[in-house]
Amino acid sequence: MYQSTDSLAPQLLAGNRRALARTISLVEDGGPEARALLAALYPHTGRGQVVGITGAPGTGKSTLVNALTKTYRDQGRTVGIIAVDPTSPFSGGALLGDRVRMRDLAGDPGVFIRSMATRGSLGGLARATADVIAVLDAAGFDRILVETVGVGQAEVDIAGAAHTTIVVEAPGLGDEVQAIKAGVLEIADLFAVNKADREGADHTVMALQMMQGLAPARAGHHGAARSAAQHAEAGGQPDGAWLPPIIKTVAVRGEGVASLRDWIEIHAAHLVTTGQREERDFSRAAATLSHILRDELMAALLARLPAGHLEEVAAAVARHLADPYTAAEQMLAAFLEQATGGWSEPSRLSDRSDSLKPQNVDV
């Protein structure tokens, strides 16, 4: 049906779901075709609000994403969902989450769900996730929910692509589990204590408050029972700092989910008011540019090396006949001397970005 990728972007922008699915697959695989597609779609991005949802298995994260999606649908908003499982191809967590969602959200044309598992490096996954977010954004989804498991560096990297990051906790997962999750303070804009009808929910809230009090980057903490309205009245902190509120939810019954949704909006408004939205957009753009440049530079180097040369050098390094630093320097010197032939594939220069071309390059 889609013989040419040239027609994919217009079809996707016209709302064709099969074109959307095919585009995501191409973008996940990477390569020049994917880059051309992303370049065509990029002018249509920037309208979707990206919400990251992360938490350990057992916190009911998938159910919460499901419930949150329903409250957005009640408001008439469309939702794209990306379920990322960076830890393992074996855990099946993403698939299970999908099955739950499929049952509730199947057939709703305002919802699109995509699962992504780790392929190769973590950096690759973070980049692929950012690219799929851009595709869903271009396709016109009002809210894009990115669900990840755990709170390792994978989540920190992927959180960089979200406007608002929600960390989901639940009572009764044990103090040792809480300990490993201390890193969440770095990425959490909101905390959801899900399964809040269970014993120990208040203990979990208190543990989070204590962590907030102990963290060097945050001063003080606030009550868990504070409502969205109260927080809005308080007008935020004098220095524009944001203390991540802790919201109790019972996702299976939809309790607290509308409140969580409202908090997402409050946080989004806070980002705009304080100029942090602009900062985050800039950081994200710089990171994306840097990723692309690194990949493309390496590809250009490999294209100019004789076939098998990198393997030959690696074998010499492995046998301790060469040190990797000197070997890399020699490869680079040869590459830069030979690079005079210019870029090996034709540039796709767009008129509106011509002004970006560097005029005074220091050599």
Residues between 65 and 94 with contacts to a second copy, criterion CB under 8 A: 86-91, 93
Residue showing tokens 């960089």: 160
Q: Tell me, by CB under 8 A, how many residues bind a second copy.
A: 113
8/105 with CB nearer a second copy: 8
Stretch that binds a second copy, among 2-10, 22-30, 74-82, 288-296 (CB under 8 A): 288-296
**What's the token pair of residue 155?**
């989540």
CA count, 13 A, side-chain hemisphere, 104: 18
CB 244 → a second copy: shortest distance, Å? Answer: 14
| Residues within window 319-358 making contact with a second copy, judged by CB under 8 A | 319-343, 347-350, 352-353, 356-358
Site string for a second copy, 200-239 (x = CB under 8 A): -----------x--xx------------------------
Using the rule CB under 8 A, is 35 a contact of a second copy?
A: yes
**Would you say 223 and 280 are in contact if contact means Cβ atoms under 8 Å apart?**
no
What residues between 94 and 113 interact with a second copy by CB under 8 A? none
C-alpha closest to that of 327 among 340, 311, 343, 341:
311
- Of 121, 199, 225, 233, the residue at the interface with a second copy (CB under 8 A) is 121
Q: Which of 105, 145, 173, 196 binds a second copy (CB under 8 A)?
A: 173
Q: How far is the CB of 326 from a second copy (least distance, A)?
A: 5
Please identify, among the stretches 70-78, 100-108, 153-161, 257-265, the one whose residues bind a second copy according to the rule CB under 8 A. 153-161
* Residue 39 within binding range of a second copy, rule CB under 8 A: yes
How far is it, in rounded angstroms, from Cα 84 to Cα 224?
29
User: How many residues are listed for the chain in this entry?
Assistant: 363
Give the distance, in angstroms, between the CA of residue 315 and the centroid of all CA atoms in the same chain. 36
Q: Which is nearer to a second copy, 228 or 331 (CB)?
A: 331
Name the residue nearer to a second copy (CB basis): 232 or 334: 334
Burial of residue 335, with CB atoms counted within 10 A of its CB: 0-12 exposed, 13-18 middle, 19 or more buried: middle
- Stretch near a second copy under the rule CB under 8 A, chosen from 75-83, 102-110, 263-271, 287-295: 287-295
Q: Which is nearer to a second copy, 110 or 152 (CB)?
A: 152
The residue from 30, 140, 183, 254 that contacts a second copy (CB under 8 A) is 183
One of 14, 219, 269, 286 touching a second copy (CB under 8 A): 286
Q: Does residue 281 touch a second copy according to CB under 8 A?
A: yes
Q: How far is the CB of 94 from a second copy (least distance, A)?
A: 12
Among 76, 107, 174, 235, binds a second copy (CB under 8 A): 174
How far are the Cα atoms of 40, 112, 177, 308, 324 from residue 143, in angstroms, in the given order? 21, 11, 30, 46, 46
What tokens were used for 270? 């806070």
